[in-house]
Chain A
Amino acid sequence: MREVPRAPLCFAVMAGLLMLVGFGQSWSLALSIFNLCLISAVMALGLNMQWGYAGLFNVGVMGFAALGGVAAVLVSAPPVAEAWRVAWSDLLAAALALLASVAAIVAARRGIPPGGLRMAVTAFLLLVGYGAVRVFFDPAVEAIEAVDPAKTGFLGGLGLPVILAWPIGGAVAAGAAWLIAKVALGLRADYLAIATLGIAEIVLAILKNEDWLTRGVKNVTGLDRPTPYEVDLRDSAGFQDFAAGFGLDAGEASTIVVKLCYTGLFLAVLVLILVLAQKALHSPWGRMMRAVRDNEVAAEAMGKDVTRRHLEIFVIGAAVIGMAGAMLTTLDGQFTPGSYQPLRFTFLVWVMVIVGGSGNNWGAVLGGFFVWFVWIEAEPVGAWAMDVATAMLGEGSSLREHLLAGAPYMRVCVMGLILLLVLRFSPRGLIPDAVHRRAGH
């Protein structure tokens, strides 16, 4: 039971670090970091379900997060009526063609016994179906993208409140995960890793290139916000009095209040997911999940449907990641496909889970907080350290300038180092999976 007091201690240290930023740099910055810490924690919780509960090696976190992000656009952006008007008939035809080809393939696969013929027919139908869809779809895309390309050039969204996008983003990511799981699960872990790596790249390629859906690299900015706008707060007399009550000027107070609103929303989501995740982990279902993880063969011999369990947890984990992705896009207020980098969105989340303690929900949350904090603060600290280290080279030295320019990448090295050190000296993470130990390990 040695590890019981460890968790509160770790969280206390984490709170202390954030306070330090608050006092040392600014409270606004500390809140910004904290908000992203919350999102990271949700993302890490999602991955922890897949890896920590079930041992599924998902290296496609970026793809699910981006799907959540695009859901935020599709839910909250105002619809572009003109684009729908010019393209609806072609889109409808393309959708019908798609449905028809899917139906034809399903029928063919039902009707023909497995073997070479079935595969050939499937391939042929795929090709024909693809061609048929393109015939209708290509002109539709051209028409949509021609509608005021500088401002819209896409179909737009539903114009609903952005907060609805969080569950919807989760659902979109879950749907994608279900499709992927149908193909790639049931294989050994490294295969799933490489397959998910590919999925994430494909998802990103689609989001970057299908301008009719997402505006691609032209980005969608000015998304709806679930919080009041700073300007409105600043101009309201009531708020000015409120700020003066704290001895703050209205400008600074407004940014802090808006950030606090986000904090409240994110915290609510995190707590909700954490409670559900804890309940699930300690339910018979969670116990079965861990049994499957620890010994697949034995679990299967006990009559557990391993593939089915894997499918469930993969989809649930992806939903949580997608939700975090939607929250992130909401916080940014814009969707920029170019900003999704595998290092930041996939592998960093992995570091969070491993460092926190895979299998332990509190560990994942702590990992999310800690790793995000280091990721952000390593940049100024790295620049400062490099500045001090190279000061003796003198101003204007080209080597010094080169090293200073490279300093921001120090945080990437720091992440690698943290991951390697934790794996070596504390392989079960900062807050190890305690249930696992009680179970007799």
Chain B
Amino acid sequence: MEDILNAVVLLSNFVVVPALAYGSQLALGALGVTLIYGILRFANFAHGDLMAFGTMFVVMATWWMQGAGLSIDPLPTALLALPFGIAAAVAVSLLTDRAVYRFYRRNKSPAMIFVIVSIGVMFLMNGVVRMVIGPDDRSFGDGARFLIKVKEFREATGLSEGLALKLSQGLTIAVTVAVVVALFRFLQKSRTGKAMRAYSDNEDLALLSGVSPDRVVLFAWAIAGTLATIAGTLYGLDKSFKPFTYFQLLLPIFAAAIVGGIGHPVGAVVGGYIVAFSEVTVTYAYRKFLIYVAPESWRPEGLVQLLSTEYKFAVSFVILVVVLLVRPTGIFRGKVI
């Protein structure tokens, strides 16, 4: 019995908790991608760099606050700095829309032109982030490290396996729940939210009903910028801030959005957790887990790892391909792309 409990704790510690946190970050990112896809109808390749851009401002504001002695210990200062990052990301999103995307929207350019344009925006943001803060790893987390420590957990339960919950992980999950609830309430109840859903569903019908396209697009960018910054900051607190990793997050984020059904907000959230759990379960080494649960004679010699962690991108890709073959609309019947 104790072995089983130990095994459960072990899995929670190394699979469930990290995957929940990572999944939340992906869900927030995928929500942004899916919103832009639903409203503006293109896959925004600049989203990863938008995340890096917003987070960069959070990092710089955090440093400034740390220097000025501002702190909300035990919570990380970055939370206090978050509004600055959000403001910057929203501002730059609206600016690029005004300067770049609006022209193609008015011309009714095909979706692929938008995608190529977003690659141009990606280059710009990428360069700006590297020029301002550099390409290296930056740490900006402070405050308490853990909500639950391994040692305390062991002492409290008497098990030999411990469970740790980092503050950043707890924070990620809590913030994600709050943000997702707020966003869904907004989309379901508010006038603008309803207009956005109507516009995403059927543009012509929405326009005929008096929905203002400029307002819908404005809100879509503002929300995407906000979500991108929150997702980027939480990811940075949980792991670390490095511009290139944010670019690489693009793939799992797209996978999450497509698995759930692109253009579908609930799908994006579910997709985020699906991708995260698949990635973590496939790259976890089950050796210790099997030692607990399997009979003595079955003890594995190797690590019992299906894929080494370097191949985690393969997981996103395989999920993409499977969805594409089995159910191209995604789980929640989003748009077919």
Show the binding face of A for B, using Cβ within 8 Å: 55, 57, 59, 119, 138, 183-184, 187-191, 193-195, 197-199, 201-202, 205-206, 208-209, 342-343, 347, 350-351, 354, 403, 405-407, 409-417, 419-420, 423-424, 427
User: Which label, helix, strand, loop or mixed, suits the secondary structure of the A interface?
Assistant: helix
For residues 123 through 179 of chain B, which have their beta carbon under 8 Å from a beta carbon of chain A? Answer: 123-128, 130-132, 134-135
Q: Return A181 CB to nearest CB of chain B, in Å.
A: 13
| B337 is an interface residue with CB less than 8 A from chain A | yes
Contacts of A354 in B (CB 8 A): 116
Residues B320 and A194 in contact, CB atoms below 8 Å apart: yes
Residues B124 and A202 in contact, CB atoms below 8 Å apart: no
For residues 78 through 127 of chain B, which have their beta carbon under 8 Å from a beta carbon of chain A? Answer: 100, 103, 111-113, 115-117, 119-127
Inter-chain CA distance A292–B320, complex, in Å, is: 26
| B199 is an interface residue with CB less than 8 A from chain A | no
Residues B123 and A199 in contact, CB atoms below 8 Å apart: no
Residues B336 and A188 in contact, CB atoms below 8 Å apart: yes
Contacts of B313 in A (CB 8 A): 198, 201-202, 205
Inter-chain CA distance A419–B100, complex, in Å, is: 11
Whether A423 contacts B337 in the complex (CB less than 8 A), given A201-B248, A202-B317, A205-B311, comes out as no
Within 8 Å by CB of B111, from A187, A190, A424, lies A190
Whether A424 contacts B258 in the complex (CB less than 8 A), given A191-B337, A416-B120, comes out as no
Within 8 Å by CB of B254, from A138, A194, A406, lies A194
Residues B320 and A55 in contact, CB atoms below 8 Å apart: no
Q: Return A230 CB to nearest CB of chain B, in Å.
A: 33
Whether A198 contacts B120 in the complex (CB less than 8 A), given A57-B112, A193-B43, comes out as no
User: Which label, helix, strand, loop or mixed, suits the secondary structure of the B interface?
Assistant: helix
Inter-chain CA distance A351–B120, complex, in Å, is: 8
Inter-chain CA distance A206–B313, complex, in Å, is: 11
Interface string of B180-202 (1 = CB under 8 A from A): 00000000000000000000000
Known: A190-B42, A209-B308, A406-B131. 5 other contacts (CB 8 A): A187-B337, A197-B250, A197-B254, A403-B131, A415-B123
Residues A409 and B251 in contact, CB atoms below 8 Å apart: no
Show the binding face of B for A, using Cβ within 8 Å: 42-43, 45, 100, 103, 111-113, 115-117, 119-128, 130-132, 134-135, 247-248, 250-251, 254-255, 258, 302, 308, 310-311, 313-314, 316-317, 320-321, 324-326, 328, 336-337
Residues A198 and B43 in contact, CB atoms below 8 Å apart: no
Chain A residue at minimum C-beta to C-beta distance from B129: A409
Inter-chain CA distance A414–B308, complex, in Å, is: 38
Contacts of B124 in A (CB 8 A): 412-413, 416-417, 420
Q: Return A65 CB to nearest CB of chain B, in Å.
A: 17
Within 8 Å by CB of A411, from B115, B127, B247, lies B127
Within 8 Å by CB of B123, from A119, A191, A347, lies A347
Q: Return A204 CB to nearest CB of chain B, in Å.
A: 9
Chain A residue at minimum C-beta to C-beta distance from B314: A202
Inter-chain CA distance A59–B314, complex, in Å, is: 16
Inter-chain CA distance A343–B126, complex, in Å, is: 9
Q: Return B43 CB to nearest CB of chain A, in Å.
A: 4
Residues A406 and B317 in contact, CB atoms below 8 Å apart: no
Residues B100 and A420 in contact, CB atoms below 8 Å apart: yes
Whether A416 contacts B258 in the complex (CB less than 8 A), given A187-B328, A202-B317, A205-B313, comes out as no
Residues A205 and B120 in contact, CB atoms below 8 Å apart: no
Chain B residue at minimum C-beta to C-beta distance from A138: B302
Contacts of B310 in A (CB 8 A): 205, 208-209
Contacts of A187 in B (CB 8 A): 324, 328, 337
Most buried by A among B123, B248, B250, B310: B123
Whether A423 contacts B116 in the complex (CB less than 8 A), given A205-B310, A209-B308, A417-B124, comes out as yes
Residues A419 and B132 in contact, CB atoms below 8 Å apart: no
Q: Return B208 CB to nearest CB of chain A, in Å.
A: 27
Chain A residue at minimum C-beta to C-beta distance from B99: A420
Residues A195 and B317 in contact, CB atoms below 8 Å apart: yes
Residues A190 and B116 in contact, CB atoms below 8 Å apart: no
Residues B251 and A201 in contact, CB atoms below 8 Å apart: yes
Chain B residue at minimum C-beta to C-beta distance from A123: B322
Inter-chain CA distance A423–B127, complex, in Å, is: 19
Residues A202 and B311 in contact, CB atoms below 8 Å apart: yes
Inter-chain CA distance A84–B211, complex, in Å, is: 69
Within 8 Å by CB of A407, from B111, B115, B131, lies B131
Inter-chain CA distance A416–B96, complex, in Å, is: 12
Contacts of B314 in A (CB 8 A): 198, 202, 205
